[in-house]
């Protein structure tokens, strides 16, 4: 909560785990929040739950974790691009950056440091879809994302993301670090 700059009052508590499904709707004692802010909290909660499952289990998610740690983040596809761009638009640059910072702490690889935050998360989400497709589709449906329209076969080089994340985030102005 502190990372997200949400200041609860003294009576704040949740009836579910912080990374539980739809955690935003279970909190009481939070300051008044708009529907958009509650949605952001829900999206962030679902992403954190995905990261923690990938890091700690159950078994099928642990296999994803092994793939993420073994992957070189050298491939992305339209599915990963569209999902990451959609999450970026939903959360906004600041909150999205905070979420990706957590993912980088858990799954960072030296070669992934040259990627923008949306590209890093897009590579992770491509692996999520490739290795645990059913859970990935459930994740996307819970966020009301139109995944059926997103191609999964195209394989693109993340380094070619450009300043605007493959044209999906025109205001991003990503500048890769020097090699």
Q: Quick: pLDDT tens for 5-64.
A: 656 555 555 445 454 445 555 555 666 777 788 788 888 888 888 888 787 766 766 677
Rg (CA), the chain: 16
112 domain residue, yes or no = yes
Q: Please tell me which of 24-33, 34-43, 74-83, 139-148 the model is most confident about, judged by mean pLDDT.
A: 74-83
96 domain residue, yes or no = yes
Question: Among 15, 133, 144, 165, which residue's Cα sits nearest to residue 64?
Answer: 133
The whole-number pLDDT of residue 23 equals: 52
Total domains in the chain come to 1
95 domain residue, yes or no = yes
More confident: 168 or 33: 168
CA dihedral 70, 75, 76, 77 (to 10 degrees): -120
More confident: 50 or 86: 86
Cα–Cα distance between 77 and 40 in angstroms, integer?
25
For residues 122 and 80, the answer to whether their CB atoms sit within 8 Å is: yes
Cα–Cα distance between 151 and 134 in angstroms, integer?
16
Domain that holds residue 85: 35-161
- Cβ burial 15-44 (10 Å sphere, 16+ → b, else e): eeeebeeebbeebeebeeeeeebebbbbbb
28 domain residue, yes or no = no
Say whether 165 sits in a helix, a strand or coil: coil
30 domain residue, yes or no = no
27 domain residue, yes or no = no
72 domain residue, yes or no = yes
3 domain residue, yes or no = no
Percentage of residues in the chain having pLDDT higher than 70: 75
Q: Where are any strands of DSSP class E within the chain? A: 13-14, 27-28
Handedness of CA 60, 123, 108, 50 (dihedral sign): negative
CA angle 21, 24, 139 (to 5 degrees): 35
């Amino acid at each position: 909560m502190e990372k997200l700059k949400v200041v609860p009052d003294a009576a704040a508590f949740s009836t579910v785990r912080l990374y539980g499904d739809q955690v935003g709707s279970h909190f009481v004692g939070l300051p008044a929040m708009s529907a958009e802010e509650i949605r952001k909290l829900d999206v962030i909660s679902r992403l954190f739950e995905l990261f923690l499952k990938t890091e700690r289990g159950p078994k099928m998610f642990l296999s994803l974790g092994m793939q993420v740690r073994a992957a070189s983040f050298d491939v992305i596809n339209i599915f990963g691009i569209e999902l990451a761009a959609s999450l970026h638009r939903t959360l906004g640059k600041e909150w999205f950056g905070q979420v990706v910072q957590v993912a980088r702490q858990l799954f960072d690889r030296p070669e992934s440091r040259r990627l923008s935050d949306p590209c890093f998360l897009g590579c992770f989400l491509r692996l999520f879809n490739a290795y645990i497709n059913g859970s990935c589709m459930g994740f996307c449906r819970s966020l009301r994302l139109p995944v059926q329209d997103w191609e999964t076969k195209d394989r693109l080089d993340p380094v070619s993301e450009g300043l605007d994340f493959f044209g999906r985030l025109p205001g991003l102005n990503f500048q890769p670090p020097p090699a």
